[in-house]
Structure 1
Amino acid sequence: MAVLPPRSPARRVLPRAALVLLLPALLLPGPPAPAGAAPAPPAATAPAGWAWPLLPRPRVVGAWAPPAERWLRGHRGVDLAAGPGAVVRSPADGTVSWSGVVVDRPVLTVAHGAGLRSSFEPVESSLRPGDRVRRGQAVGTLRGRDHCDPGTCLHWGVRRDRDYLNPLLFVGALEPSVLLPVPADLAGRRRAEAPDGVRGLSGAGGRAGGA
C-alpha cells in the first residue's frame, strides 16, 4: 500500500480584491493625538536645573564676548561680582577634571557630561580630578584679585567640547531683546535726513521705529 506524504499546512491567501482594499489603510497615518495632548517639546539648547555658582545670585560685571575666530582674543565667559574668600559652588552635578594653577592663577574645572565643562578662576580648591560633586556643593573659594583687578570677581566659563557658550544661558539669565522707541528729536532728524522716497515710512502713525 502506497504511503502518501503528509500534507503541508494550508496557507491563507487573501484575494487580490481584498489586498486592494487593505493597502490604503496600511499606508494612511495613524489616528490624530487627543485634543489635550501636547506635542513633544523641541530639544533644549541648554540643560535645565543649573544653579548660580555664587549665593546669593551675583551681579554680572563682565559680559560674555567671544572672539570671531578661535585664535583671537575675547572674553570666553562671564565675570560675577564676589568678594575675596567667597564660596564657589558647582552649578550642576559632575566630576572634577582639573584643579591646579594655570600660568599664575588657580583654576577649577568640572565636567558635567555630554561634553559640557565649567571652569572657574581664580579659585582655590582641595578637590582633585576624579572627585564627584553635586549641584550646589561648595567646590572652592575665590582667591583675591587675579582676574578683575583692582576689584574682585569670579570668572565662569562653560564649554561644550571645544566650543565656548554663554554661561548665562544655563541659568536662564538671558533676557530677550526689546526695541525701544526712538526719541522725538532723533526721529525728526532721521526723517529730515532720509531720502524723499522713504521719509513717510519712518514716521508712519506719528511714531518712528529704531534698530
Structure 2
Amino acid sequence: MVFLKFILFAAIAATVFAGSSTTVAPATPRWSWPVSPKPAVLRAFDPPEKPWLSGHRGVDLQTAPDGGMVTAPADGVVTFAGVVVDRPVITIDHGEGLRSSFEPVSSDLQEGDHVVRGQLVGSIESGHCGEAACVHWGVRRGDDYINPLGFLEDLRPSILLPPD
C-alpha cells in the first residue's frame, strides 16, 4: 500500500512540475528564485504539444516596477549573454543537460563566466510583459523545455493521502 501511495505521489508531482512535457524536474530541488522577493507568476509554463507550435516555454515572473536584478538560480557557466532579435538574453548551463535563460536581461557577464547560486547575473529591462514589469525564465534539458518552477524548493505540492 505504501508503495502504491509513492507511485501516486510521483505521478502527481510529475504532472504538476512538468506540465505536458515528458521531462520532469529533479526529485530533490536545489534552485532558488532568480528574483527577490519571491515573485508572483504572471504567466505559467504552457509548453506546446509539438516543438513548432505556439506555447509558453517558461514562466513570467513579476518584478519590481523599476525592473530589478536577476540572480543565478543554481551554479553554472554562462553560455550566452547578448541580444536575440530585439531583447537581451542570458543563458546559464547548470550541468546535467540543464540550461536556464532569462529575458529581457542585460548582463556584463560573458560566455564562459562561472556563476554561483544567488550571484547577480543581470538587470531586467522593460518590454516583455507590456505594462507589467517581469522577467521570462525558461529551462531546457537538452532540447526539451521544462517547467522552471519544478526546481524550486518552496513549490512542492502538499498531497494528503488516505490512512493505510
Give, in whole Å, the separation in 2 of the partners of 1:49 and 1:142: 23
Q: Moved runs in structure 1, 4+ residues, more than 2 A?
A: 174-178
Structure 1 length as normaliser, TM-score? 0.60
Answering whether residue 141 of structure 2 is matched by residue 160 of structure 1, we say yes
Q: Give matches, 1:54-69, under 5 Å.
A: 54-69=35-50
The one-letter code sitting in structure 2 at the alignment partner of 1:125 is S
- Aligned residue type for 2:78: V
Letter in 2 for 1:96: V
Could you say which residue in structure 1 is the equivalent of 2:19?
A: none
TM-score by length of 2: 0.77
Identical counterparts, % of pairs: 52
State the Cα distance separating 1:148 from its structure 2 match: 0.2
Q: For residue 18 of structure 2, what is the aligned residue in structure 1?
A: none
Q: Which has the larger radius of gyration?
A: 1
Summarize the alignment of residues 125-164 of structure 1 with structure 2, pairs less than 5 Å apart: 125-144=107-126, 146-164=127-145
Q: Residue 87 of structure 2 contacts residue 104 of structure 2 at CA under 8 Å; is this kept in 1?
A: yes
Equivalent pairs, count: 135
CA distance in 2, matches of 1:115, 1:125: 23
The higher-RCO structure (CA 8 Å, 6+ apart) is 2
Tell me the equivalent position of 1:75. 56
Q: CA RMSD in A?
A: 1.9
Cα shift readout 1:29-50 (whole Å, capped 9, x = no counterpart): xxxxxxxxxxxxx9x9415321
* 1:117 equivalent in structure 2: 99
Whether the 8 Å CA contact 2:71–2:118 is kept in 1: the answer is: yes
Give the Cα–Cα distance (whole angstroms) in 2 for the partners of residues 167 and 76 of structure 1.
Answer: 9
Task: Considering fraction of residues, name the structure with more strand.
Answer: 2
The 2-side partners of 1:163 and 1:85 are apart by 29
Does the 8 A contact of 1:67 with 1:75 survive in 2? yes
Q: 5+ residue gaps in structure 2?
A: 1-9, 11-23
1:115-136 deviation per Cα after TM superposition (whole angstroms, max 9, x unaligned): 0000000001000000000000
Secondary structure at the counterpart of residue 53 of structure 1: coil
Task: Report the alpha carbon displacement of residue 152 of structure 1 after superposing the two structures with TM.
Answer: 1.4
